[in-house]
Amino acid sequence: MTWIVYILECTDGSLYTGITNDLERRMKAHATGRGAKYTKRRGPFTVRYTEHHDTKGTALQREAAIKSLDRSAKVALISAV
């Protein structure tokens, strides 16, 4: 199973980082307000960045690493793609 680390850009310009094994299902959940508390009233969203990982553990580690970055580093990561 492939795990995806993703960064969403919310309508207020903020960035949300998460993981999933089904990005389409997760985006539908975000769009209907069931994806995450943070994104509940910040839609619609744009997927700005994705990474694929072989295990949930490595995806969780990468998610934590991205979440620890400041905004300018996240923007640089998005722009590097």
Query: Could you report the per-residue pLDDT of 1-46, keeping only the tens digit for each?
Result: 899 999 999 999 999 999 999 999 999 999 999 989 999 989 899 9
Judge whether 81 and 74 are in contact, CB under 8 Å. Answer: no
pTM value? 0.93
- What pLDDT is attached to residue 32? 92
State yes or no: pLDDT of 81 exceeds 90. no
The CATH number of whichever domain residue 54 belongs to comes to 3.40.1440.10
* CA contacts within 13 A on the Cβ side of 55: 3
Yes or no: say if 51 and 43 are a contact pair by the CB < 8 Å rule: no
Tally of domains within the chain: 1
What residue numbers bound the domain in which 31 lies?
Answer: 3-79
Q: For 44-75, how does the pLDDT look when each residue is reduced to its tens digit (9 = 90+)?
A: 999 999 999 999 999 999 999 999 999 999 99
Rg, the chain, Cα only: 12
Number of C-beta neighbours around residue 25 at 10 A:
11
Q: Is the dihedral of CA 78, 70, 5, 27 positive or negative?
A: negative
